[in-house]
Structures are given as C-alpha cells and as structure tokens.
Amino acid sequence: TTAAVPTPSPLPTPTPTVPTTPVMVSETVTPAAAPSLITNAYVKPSNALDNLIKVVAFTKWEEKGRPEVSETEREAMLSEASESIIAELECGAKLQAIMKRFGIEEGVSSPAPSEATPAPPVMQNDAVVATAPTPTRPQQEEQERGNGKLREICESRSNGATIKWGKYYAGQTGTDLVRDMYVETREKNNMLQLHVVVEADFDVNLHWGVTSRTDGTWRQPPPGWTTVPPRSWGSTGNSWETEFENCGNKLKAVTLEVPCGDDDGIIFVIRTVADEWVKNGDGDFYAHRDTDQLAPSPLYEHQQNREKRRNKKEHRDHDRKDRKRKDDSFAANQPVIPPTINAKSIESVQLISRKEWNVDDIVLNTGAFGKQGNAIAQNSIDQICNAEEGCTRSLMHRYNAAADLLSTCHDEGEAGLLAMFVWFRFMALRQLVWNNDYNIKPREISAAQAKCTEALTRYHRNESIYRDVVRLIMMTIGRGGTGDVGQRIRDEILAVQQANNCKGGMMEEWHQKLHNNTSPDDVPICEALLQFIASDCDINVYWAHLHANNIDAKRMSEYDRKICSEPKFSRDQYEGLTRDLTEYLRTLKAVHSGADLDSAAEAVLGYHQDACKGKEINIPPVADVATPRLEELLTCARVLREHNGDALNVLEAILEARRELWQWTKPDGRDNDRLKDVIYLDLALEAAVRQVMEAQIAEMSKRAPLDVLKITGMVLENLCLSTGENQEFVYCLKDWQNVIRSAQSGSNDWGLQAKAVCDRIGNALGEISERYINVLQPTAMNMGPKLNVDEHVLQLFSEEIVRGTPAAPLSQMLRVLDPMIRGVAQMGRWQVISPVQVKGQVVYVDVLSTVQNTKYSVPTIIIAKRVSGEEDIPVGCVGVVTPDMPDILSHVSVRARNEKVFFATVFDFNVLEEMKQMDGKCVSLHPNAQGDEIDVKSIKLADVQPTGGAGASEVKTLGESGISIKQKQWPGKFALDSSQFNDQVVGGKSKNLELLRGRTPNWIQLPASVALPFGTFNATLNDPINTQVKTKLESQIVSLKQFDDSKDGDGFRALIDDIKSTISLLKPPKTLQSELKSCFNKESLAWPGDLETSEEGQEAWKTICAVWASKYNERAVLSCKKSRFEPRRFEHGGVVSTSRECEICIRVTHGTSTNERPD
C-alpha cells in the first residue's frame, strides 16, 4: 500500500493508544505465503481486492474516530466494505477506478513476493510457463490434493460421461478476481460435455459459443444444449453467458452439454463481476473432444484478425452498456432465458420413476366446497359492491380493497369467502373495469396482490374447512412479484425497444400502456407477439392468440393508453425480439400469472435476472422445498409438456411433484416464509394436468387400455390432492390401483371391476357438479346485476367454473374409458330400461326437465344430455335416449315402463354424437333381445304414426286406466301414537313399522314414532286461525288448474313455488300442539318446544308444512295433470320418528299387482 493509505491487518493488533483492545491498524509486513486450492502455484492471500476491502473498512473505522471494536464488530465492518465494493462493481464500476479513488496505485496493491514465496506462473498462448521454482514435496502433495478435488467436482457433474482430456491453467489470469482454472472435456451420447472450474472470490460468468477447429468464428450453439447451473442468457452477437455455481472453498464450476459435430468445439472466455475478461493469452479458450487447440488453416490468420476485431467491438459494446447503465438505461442488460427448459429436447430428459406412496396419506376430512350449504353472505356482497366504484380506478385499488375486505368475508364463513371469489372471478372474466384513467406503478399492483395472497395462504394452511374456496380465489389472482419484480414490467419494456430498434407503432403504444397500468392482458399480448414473430409475421396468428384469450381490437382500443396499431417487424429483428420478449414474458408472468407452471416453478426453484436500472432480481430457492428431486420432476414436466410429450410421462412427473409438495400443501402441513410460492406451484401443477388432458384427450381412444387406465388413475389422484372431504375419491383411487394391477396381469376380469369403480366415480363427480352449481349460482346472481355483469356470463357462471376444476378431465376420461371397459367386459353399448320398438322425430335437449311440460304433436324421440330421474315423460314423447344413467327404479324409469315409452342409456360417445346429428330427422329404434344393442335406422316422416299410439302421447284419466282412489277420512285427531296406527289413518311406512313390533329379535330396535294422520292438513287449513291462508291458497289452486304449463314452463314453476310458500304460512292450531305433545310423551320422544315461539319448535313446524307442500312439487303436479286428477284431493300423512345413524341399509322390494303403484 501507499504510505498515505495504510492497509488494515487481517488480524486485530493492539495500538499504542489503546494497548488492551483489538483494533484495525496499518500493516506493512508481508504475510506468509498460502497455497492455492487447486494448482501448483503459490499465491499471496492478500491480492488487490483483499487490500481494497481492508482499506475501505479502515477508512470507515477512521471516520468513526477509531473506536474500540471487538472481533465480531471488526468482521462486520470488513463484510460491509466488501458488500459496498461488490455493489459498485455490479453497477458497472471498474476495480481500478475504485482503487484509485482510495489512493491505491495499480501495480503496487500487493507487496513484492519474498524469496520464499514463488511467483505464480503466467499463461502465454494457452501454455503454462512456470516462473516459480520447483515446489517442495509438501507443496506437491498439496497440489495433488487440490487437483484431486477438481477431478471429483467434474466427475460428480458428468452424469457418467467419458472423460476425453483435462488441463490446468495456473497463475495469472489477467485479473485479481480470478486466480486459477481447470478445464475438462467429456463425451456422452454424441454430446460434448465441458467442465470449467475456477478459484475466485466473487461471481463469474462463462461467455461462450460454438466454432469449428479450422474456423474460429463464434456461432450460436445448436438446439438441445443444456447447462449446469441452468441460468444462462443470450449475450451480444452469437454468444451466450452462463453463471458459475459455488462449490465451496472459493471454487466455482460450470458444465455445458452441447450437441457438437465432429469438427466443432466450444469457444469461451470468462467475464468477471467487474466486466473484466479472462482469456487465453491474446486469444480465446477452445475445447474440442480431442484437443484444446484450434487447427491452423489458410484463412486462419484472416479469421483470427477478424475475431480480434469482433472481440474489440464486443468489449466496446460492454463499455458502452456500462455507461448507459450509469445513465439509467436498460440497454446494458440482456435478458435471461433458462436453456434447461427452452432448449432441452424430449430425448435429453430422463423419465420419472414414481415412488410407492400411501394413498391414505392424502385423505382429507374437511374443506369440501359447498358442504356448508348455499347461504348467501349478503353483508359481504353489499360491502364488495359498495367498494367496487373506487376499485375501477386500477387493479391496485381492487386488490387493496380486497385485502381490506378479506377479514369481513372470512367472518361470514365460506359464504363470505365465496363472495370474494365471485368478485375476483368477474374481474378475471373482464366484466369489471380494470383501469379508469389512473396511472399506477406495476410494483404497486404486485405489492397489492401480495397483500391478498399472503392472507389467503394463511387460511389455506390453518383453516382446512375453507381450503377449496381459498384455492379457487388464489387461482384468480396473480402471485404478486416481490421486491423489484413488479417494477421491471415498467422498466424492461424500454430495454426491449432500445435493444431491437422498435420504438414506434404498436410497440410504443404497448409501452405506454405498460407504463400507465399493466394488467393480466399483457401476458397474452406478449405471447401473441412471440407467436407472430415465429410465424414470420403472420398477422392472423397474432389475432388468433389474442381472440383465444378474449382480447380483440375493440378491447385494445379501449385501454386508457390505446393499442390501435398492428405489430410490424423486419426479419433482422426476429432473433433479438424473440430472446428479449421471451424474457419479458417471464417478468409479466411473475406478477400476473399465479398458476403458470414455468413462473411458479421458477419462484420455488429460484432464478436470477440481470440488473435493470442497477437492480437485479435474485429469487433464492425455497428452503427445504427446492430439492434436486423436485427440480428434476419440474424440469421433466415442463419440457415434456412444452414439446407435447406423451401424456403418461408428463402426468407421472406432475403428480410426483404434487406428492413431493403435499407435506406443505396439506391442511396444517409444514410451514415456511415462502409457503405462498409453494401453494401457487401446486395450483399450477393441478392446472397443468387439465391442460395436458385437454390437449391429448382426442388421442386417448387410440391408446392401449392399460395406458388409459394408468392415465385415468393419475387424473383421479390429481382430483384427490385438490378436493376437500375426498374420502370417496380416495376409496375409488385404491380400487383403481387394483384394477391396474389386474389389467397388468393379463386377465380380462378387470373390466367389470373397472366399470363398477367408474360408476362410483361418476356418481361422486355428479355430486361435486351439483354442489358447485347450487352454491355458486345464487351468489353470482345476487352480486352480478349490482356490478352490471353481462347476463350471458351470469347464466353460465357456475358451469364454466366446474369445467375448470380437476373434476373435468376425470369426467372426460370416464367417457373415453367406457367403451373400452364395455368391450373387455362384453357389456354392450346400451342399457335398455324400457325395451319398446318406436318410431319418431329426433329432438335434442340438454336437460329433460326443460321439456317435460311440452306437448309434442308428432311422436318424438328425445336425446337428453341430462336426466336426473325425477322428470315426467312429456306428452307425445315415445322414446328417451340419454348418456346419463338414472336409477332403473327412478320416477322417470318407472313412468317410461308404465307408459310404454322407449328409454335407454347409450354409453358409446360416438353413437350419441351420431344421434345428436339426427336432430329433426325421423328414426326407428329396435332393441335386441338381450337389451344391450339398438338398431337405429333413418325413416321418412310419413312412416311416423301420429300421436295416439303407444307412449306418453296416450293420456288416460284414472277411470280410463282402471285405477280408483278412495278418499281417506280424517280420524278427528291431529296426532296418533304408534299403538293407533292402521291403514285407514296412516301410510305404508307408518303401518309397516307397527307391523314389525313384536316380530323382530330384541337386538333389532324399532324407532319410536308419532303420526300426523290423513286429513290433518285440511283440518289445519280449515281452522279459523288460518282463514287468510286458506283463501289465498284456494285462489292459487284455481290459477294452477287453468295454467297451460306447456306454453310457460317458468311461469308454471313460479306458481307452484308460490303455492308451497303459502302453505308454509300455516299456523299450528292449539289442539294440534297439545295432541302432538301428548303423543311425543307417550313415545318417549323429546318435545322440540312450542311450535310458534321456540327455535326448535319453529323448525319442526316448518318441516311439517314442507311435507304437506310436497304434493305441489313439479313432478307431482304434472303427474296429476296428466291423469286429470287434482293434487288437492291427495291426502298426506306424516310420521315423526327418531333419527339413527346406520352403517347398513337393506331395501326389500316386492312385486305389485297391475293396478298398484310401488310404494
């Protein structure tokens, strides 16, 4: 050091003024030599950078008045000085300039070596020239240990590749930041594998390309290359840069695997954090399979000079970028593109072998969406609607308002959180204003998103009852970038424009929008630009992608900063724009795309983006989650999905990754401060299963049955991992694994077992669909009109959500499987419930219930997508065909058989599609004797008989049918105990209970029962206390009798709902209360309390009225009207008994006579 600026000692030394306290002082003594970790050179431990750090720390210490410091404080000051220097170097400052600022002259930063310290060798023209004396034996042993360490590092990274050659480059490297280097080449599967290991104090990058031995010209590497670590980015010209990764003890390594030809090799140099270059003397390093030397050629000298000029230009470019960085410009920073995903081929990915997981580990007993009922959280809805006016200013305002309202919604339970989801869903569907002339910074949007998602993450982990609805909400919100991720949206677009000379037209309009208010629309816009370039600027491709994401020219022209121009690029801009926009898309997805797999995977595994405006993005891996196993799984899943790889292999990687994450994503699972990123990765993997299946579902019918069984099993497993209260699906998953094992054994016995499991899964899926629709639609219909949501969107709201759940691909797979299973089990394509030969005109409907009031003038065969089993057969209908599978004892099945209407389920999707295409045409249906095949033939309309033959067109009165009904008489009592039951006063259930008394073993217990006998409803209605109710009800019944339900089905349903509401207004007569209470006491039943004043009593009375009102259910009224019988003539009895939990239910059926209806 110079005399003016002393260098602090690496060890605390007492000063004369304070002899008892260790402090930092000036030191001019040359320290002892220390061996290099990897070479035979012995270098000084105090190089220029070490001295600079000590000088900076010493200066800071002097500025503080030379205080007494402890060893810990001294180390902290050195660390602080180191960080400040690194920050300057990363922002473009030169090491020599910093040294000069502190008075350190270049070339005298280290003392001259003593005679005992050998000078390091220098590199000249790629050959090591020793300038040091021959090392001593201990030094040679130390060298051999260091060299062995290097070989171990390369071997551990080689993945079994065969070594070709290795070489040590020891000593001077032209910079104080990198000391020594080792290079090794290997070969595997025709891939050239290059390993470079250096000893350096700070981060360095490998600047590389490909060249031939006789050329020396830098070229882009061919497709299919990979690097370890995977963080690489396109640099200037035809070169790439890849980070070295730390291997401990200041050793850093990088591995390239490139598909080079026999004459090609890798050409490279090293760039330091201070933008200094480590070169092979005056040239570049070269690595071929067999040599490290470029072969001379007649053009070699000319090419070498040209390469020198190119390198000088490249270095000038870097210097210019340094200056621009200081001028607050992005052009200095080239985007980062992870080559492990974009450049890997399917062949380079190792397929996944799944572990043996315990299925019982994924059982969830709570959290099922909609199990708490379909209540509407009116308070939450009102507060959301009141807040919406202020939320139209920007997405930031909406996210902030949501964060403030989240606790209020949470207080109203699942219904409140459901209201929050519906609100965000309307926003995601672009039904709400995203921005209204309000300029907002992207980092403020991402910060507002983070407020919401952090709170939702806590609910997801700690409150399992809300797990399903919380996952729905999180799917509608971007993850939210941290730190400077959001701001890069605004900053980085300028770099793209400057680097690629596209500052006008559409790119400038988009730039202004991004600066004013970025939104989720920017993701598909960026994707559309990339597809536009890839198609050689086919504008139709650009618009097709935007339209697929519900963005059209009108919407773009309505942004606050309008986008009215179409993109236009020249071919020399393709390469740079593709590189830069791909990187920019990564930034956009980090903020807006919570469930994008690439973005979510990087957030968990960690990633780096170069500095923009001096700010780097360094997202570290999530501790304990980002294991090598998870990285392997995600890489496999992402590469195979991107290249449309085999669905079986993709799903294996995705499901294995989800199982690895389960310990964090399950209720009350493991926790860490990055749990949000883990949950978003799980959501992205869940969605990826649906995307893979949607892309490949058409090919499933062509695959081997065993493959389809395995794929179905993984889609079922995906649903289990995503659904609360999943016990039923877990049971099915266990059975399905048995089916797969049976199929693998070569037996055909698995067909019937698979059919049984499929039926069970189908029933469970139907329950989910019904539950989602019943819960979602009321809240959507309540909130939607207040927020001016389009009516069409409201009508399809819940159905569209169901189609986006993990249940949807499983439903698709069941459809593919069914014909395969039926073929194996020899079950046929049809199940005929009512085998009648019919002729009629085909009519296709979505739901049979929507036409059950219709009267067809021509014999009609209805193709109904859905049949619940509760419908009536419409008048004039002679046949019903459905892919649904109603119970053979359901109402519609019984009616079809009684009325001689053809009724069958078709299991072959192709047959169903053919019949749907016959809509409006006439066909004949002839079932075979076995009832498993139908002969469908086209006929002419003239061959169809007019109504009046067999089928529902034949309408008879009860008298015409030979059925007589004897009116039951009220016994004069409102309530009867079980000893008073007989067939004149109570129905079959009550009577059969009484018949069992005294006839069953003691271990079979019969429930205590009280009956409301026939006629009790009319007696209650005629009581003076209900005079007004009776008058209103009689008026409504007259209207019902005159109503033409075939012309106005909605009006008909509204009228019978009004009738049932009127019946619910009945009040209990005092005599009824007293008699009912007396019977309860006799049967030892718990009395609920006064039927008008107590809470339980009111609920009991409400239930009684609902039983009486049930004779005005739609199906019952329609049946009565078809038989020309008034519903009021039916007398309802009722039985009250204890409720018992049971494990087994036995249903006993018996034959009935022709004129008796089954009970």
Cα–Cα dist 136/193, whole Å: 35
1097's enclosing H/E stretch is helix 1095-1109
Nearest to 949 by CA among 858, 852, 874: 858
Using CA atoms in the order 10, 12, 15, 17, what is the torsion angle rounded to 10 degrees? 140
For residues 944 and 922, the answer to whether their CB atoms sit within 8 Å is yes
Which positions ≥6 away from 136 have C-beta within 8 Å? Answer: none
For residues 912 and 842, the answer to whether their CB atoms sit within 8 Å is no
Cα–Cα dist 362/358, whole Å: 8
Phi, psi of 170 (to 5 degrees): -110, 145
Nearest to 332 by CA among 618, 585, 574, 613: 613
> Would you tell me how many other CB atoms lie within 10 Å of the CB of residue 750?
24
For residues 636 and 350, the answer to whether their CB atoms sit within 8 Å is yes
Phi, psi of 82 (to 5 degrees): -60, -45
Which positions ≥6 away from 756 have C-beta within 8 Å? Answer: 735
Angle at CA 506, nearest 5°, toward 505 and 508? 70
Nearest to 409 by CA among 452, 387, 379, 388: 379
On the CB side of 921, CA atoms within 13 Å amount to 12
For residue 262, what are the CA distances in angstroms to 191, 192, 221, 256, 289? Answer: 10, 10, 14, 17, 8
The first and second tokens of residue 940, run together, are: 């002419």
Cα–Cα dist 553/568, whole Å: 16
For residues 258 and 210, the answer to whether their CB atoms sit within 8 Å is yes
Cα–Cα dist 426/445, whole Å: 18
Q: How far is CA 211 from the centre of its chain?
A: 42
On the CB side of 801, CA atoms within 13 Å amount to 32
Give the SS3 label for residue 35. Answer: strand
End-to-end CA distance of the chain: 106
For residues 1080 and 1096, the answer to whether their CB atoms sit within 8 Å is no
Please list the residues that pair with 1009 across neighbouring strands. 1137
The first and second tokens of residue 303, run together, are: 């090419």
Q: What beta strand segments (E) does 1013-1147 contain? A: 1134-1137
Active site residues: 891
Residue type, 697: I
Q: Round the CA-based radius of gyration of the chain to a whole number and report it.
A: 40
On the CB side of 265, CA atoms within 13 Å amount to 22
Give the SS3 label for residue 599. Answer: helix
Cα–Cα dist 839/845, whole Å: 18
Q: What beta strand segments (E) does 696-747 contain? A: none
Q: Are strands 1134-1137 and 1009-1012 parallel, antiparallel or unpaired?
A: antiparallel
Cα–Cα dist 566/563, whole Å: 8
For residues 192 and 266, the answer to whether their CB atoms sit within 8 Å is yes
Q: Are strands 875-882 and 902-906 parallel, antiparallel or unpaired?
A: parallel
For residue 185, what are the CA distances in angstroms to 23, 287, 864, 914, 1046? Answer: 49, 7, 67, 62, 83
> Would you tell me how many other CB atoms lie within 10 Å of the CB of residue 511?
20
